[in-house]
Structures are given as C-alpha cells and as structure tokens.
Chain A
Amino acid sequence: MADVQLADVKKTYPGGFTAIHGVSFAVPDGGFCVLVGPSGCGKSTLLRMIAGLETISAGDIRIGERLVNQLEPTERDIAMVFQNYALYPHMSVYDNMAYGLRNLKTPKHEIESRVGEAAQILELDTALLSRKPRQLSGGQRQRVAMGRAIVRKPKVFLFDEPLSNLDAKLRVQMRIEIRRLQRRLQTTTIYVTHDQVEAMTLADMLVVLNAGRTEQIGAPLELYERPATLFVAGFLGSPPMNFLKGMLESPNTVRLDDGTAIACEAGYAAVQRGTRVVAGVRPERALVGPASEGLVMKIDLIEELGVGRLLHGQLAGAPMTVAIGPDQQLPGGEAIGIVIPADAVHLFDAESRKRL
C-alpha cells in the first residue's frame, strides 16, 4: 500500500517534442485515480512514466515516499494491465500469471496459492489455467491480465485503457468488476482512459489532461458540477455540455449573440461588464416548454434512447442538445421553448477559457 505523488513531471522527447508540461498530483493510499483526456493528451505517456517504461525528463515521481525516477519497473513495485492485454502467447494462463513471481524467485507453493487466489477473485475457472491465451475470450484474457497484476501484490496498479478492446456490454461489466476488485484489494490504482463514462464511474479522483497539461483535478462529481475550464466542461458528460456565446451584461444576465438574454446566478459582480463569455448548459438541465416560453430552439433531429430522448437543434445561432425524460411530452411544431434555470448556467471567460 502506498500513495503516489507526481511533482512537476515533464517529458520531452529527444526530438524536442514536449509531451508532458509539468504535471503534479497526488493519489492517496488506496485511491482510484483516473487520468482522462482525448487521444494524444499525454495520459498514456504519464502512466508509462509512473511505470518506469518511459524516462522522466524533469520532476519527481514518488511511490510511498520513495523517489522512483531512476528505478527499473520491477523495483517500483507496480503492476500494469495493458490495452491489448500483452499476455505471453506461448505460455498457459497459469504461467502467464506466475511468470513475474518466478522471476522474483518466489517459492513454488507461494506462487501456487497466489495464482489460485487471484483466479478465485477473478472467477477464472481452474480449467482455464492450463489453456493458452488464444483459447480465451476477450473478457477472460482481460481477467488473466488483471490476474497477472494481482498475484504480484504490488503497491500500485496501473491500467492503460484496459477495456478498449472489449465490446460495449463486456466493457460495462468489466468496469464494474475492476471497481469492485479495487475496493476489495484497496490497492492504489491509476487508470488511463479516453472514455469519460469510465472515468466518471471508476474514479475517486479524476485528472483531466489536455495537450500535456492538467486541466482540472478533483472528484468526478465536483468536476462535473464545477468544471474549471471550457475543456473539462465539454469533455465530461454525455451528451456534452452546450455552449452559447455572449457577453456579460449585468452580474446576473448574459446577452447572447443573437440578442436574447439568459439569466445566470448573481455572483459575477467582480467580472467586468461586457466581458465576452461562454455560457455552458448541460443538456439535462435545460427545461422544455411550448415555443412561447423562454428561448426558441429549432429542432432538426430527435434521438430516441429508450431511457429518454435527445433533441438536437439550434438555439441562439449555436448547436444545442437537450435531454428529456421518456414520459415528457413534446409540444408540437418544429420549434420549442427552452428555459434555462439560472443555476444551470456555467460561465466561462471566452478568452482565457476558464470558469468565471
């Protein structure tokens, strides 16, 4: 058990390309930290630096107070689950799990009991232990890969997009299993994904990365409810937040670019009037009514999800998506009225792209 601390970690490749521009965060002991961001944001690079597979250009990485910058992956006491599982194809499932332990000169009976224990935790049938990885299904391979990590009893689990190769149904199932497993083992975990649903559901602590920089760090709900930047606001949540451009007319009014006004919570007194702003509204927070009420939204597409419906259209000259419940009736006609509650409006500075 150990915490993981990153202090101003940087990665510059020999060619001069900087992948990570000084990232700092700390994962508490037993915490589940998810690094999330779009492709190429540096999240995998960062994970590989923690694992020791990638050198650190600047900054410190500590695992349980021990500086690991110069340590080999083995000496860092971590275990990693790879996206494509990286199981040794010529070894049986048992050998795959036992290989690392054997290399560490673990006594044979100890290996046996640990592999058996891991198989039990992961509900891997003992008959599977003698099979080769290619005889397993995707989900089973995933489990074996996790088993290989568990038997090491490492201080830290590192997951590199472990669910991306699974189909949608299995992904949801494995997501839950990973979370249960982590709760049960109480091992500090760092998990990389580009999928914001995975990120939201798994994390105790979410680190949103963009172009090698941290955008925001915090609990998932905190980030969802108070995104610090436009990027975080747009990245978390599905369907994503709607953005309406305008300017701050008074501490509690935003004049949108088409001339309509929306109210926001008072509290922007310190912000200069006339500042260009972006008002963010979550699709599920906008209220739908007849066209005579509120702002007019022209609908051009309705997506039926079963659990509800998504209305896509235009509002104040910007694309807008509104989510409504399955029972909610739509007023007739192509245009509907949208009422945006003042507390549903997130205001961002259009220039700095930061929350106001």
Chain B
Amino acid sequence: MIENRRFGNLSAHLVLIVGVVIVAFPVYLAVIASTHSADTIANGQLSLLPGGEFVENYRRALFIGTSRTTRALVATMLFNSFVMAMAIALGKIAISLLSAFAIVYFRFPFRKVAFWAIFLTLMVPVEVRIYPTYAIAANLNLLDTYTGLALPLIASATATLLFRQFFMTVPEELTEAAQIDAAGPMRFFRDILLPLSRTNLAALFVILFIYGWNQYLWPLLITTRDDMTTIVIGIKKIVATHDALTEWQLAMATAVLAMLPPVAVVIFMQKLFVKGLIETEK
C-alpha cells in the first residue's frame, strides 16, 4: 500500500461509501416514509425529503394503534420486546457465567460429560427443538407470558463456551492468591472473576440483547394475545392486512421505533467495548 496511495485510498473509500449507501438507504427511506401521510405513500409519490406528518404518525403508532390491523400499541410492543430481550440477555449471561465457572474451576464427576452436553446443544438451535419446546411451554402454562417468551431461549452454549475460554485465560496464580486471601469460591467469583469479565460481559450483552430483540419465530408461536405481541411480530402484523390498505407510514414508524433500542444499546455499550480493547488487564 505504499505505491498508489492516493488511488488506493480513493478506491477504498469508494467501496466503503457504496457499502454504507446500500445499507443506509433503506433505513433512510423508512425514516422518510414515516413522516409522510398514508396518501402520499399510496400514490407512489414519496419524495426523498421528510414530510410533515412526523408527530402525527409516531403519536398514532405509539399511543393509538392502527385500529384496523394490530390492536396493540407500539408502546406496549416495545415494552414487551424490551422485557423479553433483557430477560434473554441477562438470563443467558447469568446461566452461562455460572456454568462456565463450574466447568472451569470445579472438579466434579462427569464434568467432561457436562461440558460436551452443553457443547452439543450448539448444534440444536431453537428452530430444531421448537415443537417439543412449545409442548413443554404449553404444559407449564407459559403461553402468553414473559417467562414463556424468554425462558426457552436462555440456555446458551455459545456464551458458556465464550466464558469458559475467557476464564481459562485468567492466570492460575490469581485463583491461588485469592485462595490464600481467604476468598471462597463464590467470593472469588464475585470479587475477581466478575470484574475481570466486565468488558466481555458488555460485549456479550450487546449481542444477546439484539439476538433477543430480533426473535421472530418463538414469540410468534408462544404469544397469541395482542398485548403480549413483540415489536418484530407487530411490524409483520401491521404490514399484512386483510381488506384494507396497509398503513405504510405507521408500519415505517413502527420499524424505525423497533430499531432504536438495539441502536441505543450499541451506542451506550460502545464505550465499554473500546475500553475493553484498550485495557489489557488480567
């Protein structure tokens, strides 16, 4: 990259810009569409500049609902999605932290078996085990509950493996020093291991929150009541209408609103990400 640097820079930028445009344009279009009236969109005369219906559209989407299509408010759906995503992310982190801790730091019978059992579940995603999972959730009366939304998605082999790898890089001397410093296993976990995993936790939280937020198939099965609809399902419901025009401006507003929480999480957590990259403590 020493010769032709100017040309190299130029073409690299060009490729990046094209990429950004491809990714960003639909998003831009959604934002623009959510500021126009239903008629403008239906006419096919959507301009690329913002319209004047911003406040009205978002107010309707959030607090009034699209009476003809979904009967739930976007505010409710956002709340449902938020609860589900948080429960999945935090639940996954809690479970996988503890199981990784057990696998790395304790010598118990069938430890290897336990590890491989967790590892094997990597090969069985929700979609594969969806029928038995549904049956169990139904028998436990978990349909249309937050527990039902989150619980079956909480067990996570990926996060367990990630923490296992991380714990194995923590120097053994730290464990031994803690042992000599009269720290029992759980105190060691709380005082040493958790603070050291902070940046890993943040990264994983971002990924898992978005994973939880974007769940489609499972919420579609487990929830039937309108007030338990998650936002991803909600968008689908708004778009698919019978005997009526789709209110695209509201669909777009809902989509934009659905995007915000994951974006907020990424932006908020980015600081910790970067910190984690700069700090090489262990």
Give the docked Cα–Cα distance between A250 and B18 (Å).
96
Taking A53-B179, A148-B181 as known contacts, 6 extra A-B pairs with beta carbons closer than 8 A to each other, sorted by chain A number, are: A53-B180, A79-B180, A82-B173, A86-B173, A99-B181, A104-B182
Q: What are 14 A-to-B residue pairs whose CB atoms are below 8 Å?
A: A52-B179, A82-B177, A84-B173, A86-B173, A88-B177, A88-B191, A89-B281, A90-B192, A90-B196, A90-B198, A99-B178, A104-B182, A134-B281, A148-B177
User: Digit string of B169-200 for contact with A (CB within 8 Å is 1, else 0)?
Assistant: 00101101111111100010001100110100
Chain A residues positioned under 8 Å from B195 (CB to CB): 90
Question: Contact: B176 with A86, CB < 8 Å?
Answer: yes
Of A18-26, A70-78, A180-188, A284-292, the segment with at least 4 beta carbons within 8 Å of chain B is A70-78
B5 within 8 A of A: no
Number of B positions contacting A (CB below 8 A): 19
> With a CB–CB cut-off of 8 A, which chain A residues contact B196?
89-90
The answer to whether B180 and A99 have CB atoms under 8 Å apart is no
Interface contact B180-A103, CB-CB below 8 Å: no
Closest CB in chain A relative to B196 CB, distance in Å: 6
Contact B187 A103, beta carbon cutoff 8 Å: yes
A53 to B171, CA, bound (A): 14
B282 within 8 A of A: yes
Which residues of chain B are near A86, meaning CB under 8 Å?
171, 173-174, 176-177
Residue in contact with A73 in the complex, picked from B171, B180, B187, B198, CB distance below 8 Å:
B180
Q: How many angstroms between the C-alpha atoms of A244 and B198 in the bound complex? A: 61
| Contact residues in A for B187 (Cβ distance below 8 Å) | 103
A51, A80, A89: most-surrounded residue (chain B CB, <10 A): A89
When distances are taken between beta carbons in the complex, the residues of chain A under 8 Å from B174 are 86, 88
Other-chain contact of B176, A82, A89, A104, A134 (Cβ < 8 Å): A82
Q: Name A82's closest neighbour in chain B (CB-CB).
A: B173
The residue among A83, A90, A148 with the most chain B CB atoms within 10 A of its own CB is: A90
Whether the Cβ atoms of A100 and B181 lie closer than 8 Å is yes
A82-B177, A88-B177, A88-B192 known; A100-B171 Cβ under 8 A:
no
Residues in B neighbouring A83, C-beta threshold 8 A = 173
For B182, the chain A residues whose CB sits under 8 A away are 74, 100, 103-104
Residues 121-133 of A, flagged 1 when their CB comes within 8 A of B and 0 if not, give 0000000000010
Cα of A1 to Cα of B189 in the assembled complex, Å: 32
Which chain A residues border B179 with CB–CB below 8 Å?
52-53, 72-74
Cβ of A82: which chain B residues have Cβ within 8 Å of it? 173, 176-177
Instruction: Name the interface size band of chain A.
Output: 20 to 34
- C-alpha spacing A146/B74, complex, angstroms: 60
Residue of A nearest to B184 (CB): A103
Query: Which A residues lie at the B interface, using CB under 8 A?
Result: 48, 51-53, 72-74, 78-80, 82-84, 86-90, 99-100, 103-104, 132, 134, 148
- Cβ-closest chain B residue relative to A85: B173
Quick one: closest B residue to A84, CB to CB?
B173
Q: Which residues of A contact B178 (CB under 8 A)?
A: 88, 99
Cβ-defined contact, A100 with B192, below 8 A: no
Q: How far is the CB of B187 from chain A (nearest CB, A)?
A: 7
- CB distance B281 to A100 under 8 Å? no
Whether B180 and A74, one on each chain, are in contact in the complex, defined by CB atoms closer than 8 angstroms, is yes
Best-buried of B173, B176, B181 by chain A (most CB within 10 Å): B181
Q: B174 CB to closest chain A CB, in angstroms?
A: 5
**How far is B171's CA from A72's CA once the two chains are assembled, in angstroms?**
20
Across the interface, do B177 and A80 meet the contact criterion of CB distance under 8 Å?
Answer: yes
CA distance A87 to B195 in the complex (A): 14
Q: Contact: B176 with A80, CB < 8 Å? A: yes
Listed from nearest, the 9 A-B pairs whose CB atoms lie closest are: A100-B181, A86-B173, A89-B281, A103-B182, A74-B182, A86-B177, A90-B195, A82-B173, A73-B180
